[in-house]
Homo-oligomer: A and B are copies of this chain.
Amino acid sequence: MNPKTQKALVVLSGGQDSTTCLYWALQRFGRGNVSAVTFDYGQRHRIELDCARKIAALAGVPQTVLPIDTFAAIGGNALTDAAIAPQQGGNADESTLPNTFVPGRNLIFLTFAAALAYTRGEAHIVTGVAQTDYSGYPDCRENTLKALELAIRLGMDAPLTLHAPLMYMSKAETVRLAQEVGAMEALAWSHTCYNGAVPPCGECDSCRLRARGFAEAGVADPLVERTARS
């Protein structure tokens, strides 16, 4: 089977990892075979949606924005609940998950992506989740994805495949992959900061993780360069 004849749907949040995966998918499946889905789930920082839109346009990829109003109705986490501030610097109590954990978020994103792919005849779903730097999120781990892939295949009776090309990469390796697949221009418009700041705050866990990756790869972050210039 020639993968270039198959269609892929990339879950595009507008962050560094999913942006890199979008370009990885373009290289692997070929231009014209890749589309993107972005979830509008009540995230604290609406700027993520603008970034995803801009990046899909830069990549020349059709994008579907799907609403999910359910997480906000469930509440209880810092990403969709305005009354809760995101935790900084890891957890005070390491036995619990950070309060930025939205239970089931990736399970839901990938299942809706699979439902959309099913209706459009796309066989491949690509996600930017990574186990290496998974920050305490169990739904970013390989074993979760494998179990979910099975549930989706059985539940939709369709040969859908979940791809997580960054799963075992360090942030530095992800930066090098972005260079290889031509994602650097788009990364200048990607979003990472938990505080929603542009230029990025540089202080939150998410900014630090990103900065460390670029530093270790010996590459300047195009987002930092672009926003420092402007």
Interface residues of A (CB under 8 A from B): 66-71, 73-76, 97, 102-104, 106-108, 111-112, 114-116, 118-119, 138-139, 141, 143-144, 147-148, 150-152, 154-157
Contact = CB atoms under 8 A, between A and B. Distances in A.
A144 B151 contact: yes
Contacts of A74: 66, 112, 115-116, 119
B151 A155 contact: no
Given A70-B66, A70-B112, A106 B155 contact: yes
Given A68-B70, A156-B103, A156-B138, A75 B112 contact: no
A15 to B, nearest CB: 19
Contact of A147 (B69, B76, B147): B147
Given A70-B68, A154-B147, A103 B115 contact: yes
Contacts of A150: 147, 150-151
Nearest to A77: B119
Contact of A107 (B73, B75, B97, B151): B151
B119 A152 contact: no
B111 A107 contact: yes
Contacts of A107: 111, 151-152, 155
A104 B156 contact: yes
